[in-house]
Structure 1
Amino acid sequence: MLIGYARVSKSDGSQVLDLQNDALAAYGVSSDKIYIDQASGKKDDRPGLENCLKALREGDVLVVWKLDRLGRDLQHLVNIVQDLEKKGISFKVLTGQGADIDTTTASGKLVFGIFAALAEYERELIRERTIAGVKAARARGRVGGRKFKLTKAQVRLAQAAMQNRDTSVSELCRELNITKPALYSYVGPSGELRENGRRVLEAK
């Protein structure tokens, strides 16, 4: 099944939304299978995207008009598509930069692999700069450390909540008073522990 996602940055951007809807429809996506957000791509709270990702099933194809309609940044985009791939869901970009991405084909997977490599490279650069900054601070007598936003009890709560398919991620984030990227640094979409979560639970 083809499922589409469309987004405009402003609530009055009807023309751009029409353009996206027309392109998705021309590709074969039914109008009732197109999920929409009217919000900045940088915003964490995008209910249309959240519902779209929950609706996708193995064998489906997520279709977007342009690459920048989906992810907040390159790393966010890569994380979404890799999560879809693990579930047997493909990804197709119709136009613009990234139009060669079609994970239903071998060549499209290769192109996306390049995007993923660039995201990994960017992440390693940030990591190296962070380590260098910490070393420099220690050399000057300053010892820094991240203050975790969640307690052990909250991490366990987040784990249990994310294991429930009916959980609203947005509502969980409001309950815990953190952003979605922060939440996903503690637990994954299926409730699996991630680095911050493990560090909190292992702390004495």
Structure 2
Amino acid sequence: MATTHHNLVGLARVSTDTQDLQLQLDALTDAGCGRIFQEKVSTRSKDRPGLAAALDYLRPEAGDTLCVWKLDRLGRSVKDVLTIAEDLHEHGIGVRILTGTLAGSYHPTGEGKFFFTMMAAFAELERHMIHQRTMAGLQAARAQGRLGGRPTVMDADTLAAAQARRAKGQTPTQIAKALGVSRATIYRHLTDESA
């Protein structure tokens, strides 16, 4: 692992408003981060404004490295961390982890490349396992006479009611509201019928 840190860009993250970023901010400042992005993001939110801003700011040509206090601050799940690590690798951005089991600096070249290679391997393994579980679940459902996929909201009776309302001159918005389905569903099914 290289000890040169080039230009460190920090990312501090907590999951709730009651948690404090100060410990992470102090550690990132002490590590020499010239710029630190912050976010307070619920574990259920997919929106990561601090991470997005940091990734936009990072410049591979300048040798920038994304710095986090601990690996779990990079992502909320193994899948998140793997996806972010793959993205950093593809863009030639290094990552530095200040504390924890994987503390160190990793760059997409040299010795640090092993870290990214392992992350990519874990990501591939996780995708394969998810695919296998999905296929097994679908096969089990078919064996019980069920089909996979999202259930339709437009059964034959609902479609007949929609067609009758359309024939009476009701708009798709009125039909959707009356039947308790989305306008897009009405448009899709009525267009399919007329085609």
Q: Tell me the TM-score normalized by structure 2.
A: 0.65
CA–CA distance in structure 1, aligned partners of residues 120 and 133 of structure 2: 20
Task: Indicate the SS of the match to 2:13.
Answer: strand
Query: Of 16, 40, 62, which aligns to 1:10?
Result: 16
CA–CA distance in structure 2, aligned partners of residues 129 and 19 of structure 1: 40
Residue identity matched to 1:21: L
Say whether residues 1:124 and 2:128 are aligned partners: yes
In structure 2, the CA distance between the partners of 1:104 and 1:145, relative to structure 1 (3 Å rule), is: closer
Residue identity matched to 1:73: S
In structure 2, the CA distance between the partners of 1:41 and 1:143, relative to structure 1 (3 Å rule), is: closer
Find the counterpart in structure 2 of residue 199 from structure 1: none
In structure 2, the CA distance between the partners of 1:36 and 1:50, relative to structure 1 (3 Å rule), is: same
CA–CA distance in structure 1, aligned partners of residues 56 and 150 of structure 2: 32
% identical equivalent positions: 48
Give matches, 1:41-120, under 5 Å. Answer: 41-58=43-60, 59-100=63-104, 102-103=106-107, 106-120=110-124
Task: Indicate the SS of the match to 2:27.
Answer: helix
Find the counterpart in structure 1 of residue 42 from structure 2: 40
Q: Tell me the TM-score normalized by structure 1.
A: 0.62
Query: Of 139, 143, 146, which aligns to 1:139?
Result: 143
Residue identity matched to 1:132: A
Whose radius of gyration is greater, 1 or 2?
2
In structure 2, the CA distance between the partners of 1:101 and 1:61, relative to structure 1 (3 Å rule), is: closer
CA–CA distance in structure 1, aligned partners of residues 22 and 11 of structure 2: 12
Deviations 1:15-36 (CA, angstroms, capped at 9, x unpaired): xx22211211121112xx1000
CA drift of 1:42 comes to 4.1
Structure 1: stretches of 5+ with no match in the other structure? 148-204
Kept in 2: contact 1:41–1:71 (CA 8 A): no
Query: Of 27, 30, 42, which aligns to 2:31?
Result: 27
CA–CA distance in structure 1, aligned partners of residues 112 and 84 of structure 2: 16
Find the counterpart in structure 2 of residue 186 from structure 1: none
RMSD, aligned CA: 2.1
Task: Indicate the SS of the match to 1:7.
Answer: strand
CA–CA distance in structure 1, aligned partners of residues 49 and 131 of structure 2: 31
Structure 2: stretches of 5+ with no match in the other structure? 1-6, 152-195
In structure 2, the CA distance between the partners of 1:27 and 1:104, relative to structure 1 (3 Å rule), is: farther
Deviations 1:179-202 (CA, angstroms, capped at 9, x unpaired): xxxxxxxxxxxxxxxxxxxxxxxx
In structure 2, the CA distance between the partners of 1:41 and 1:105, relative to structure 1 (3 Å rule), is: farther
Residue identity matched to 1:51: A
Q: State the aligned residue count.
A: 143
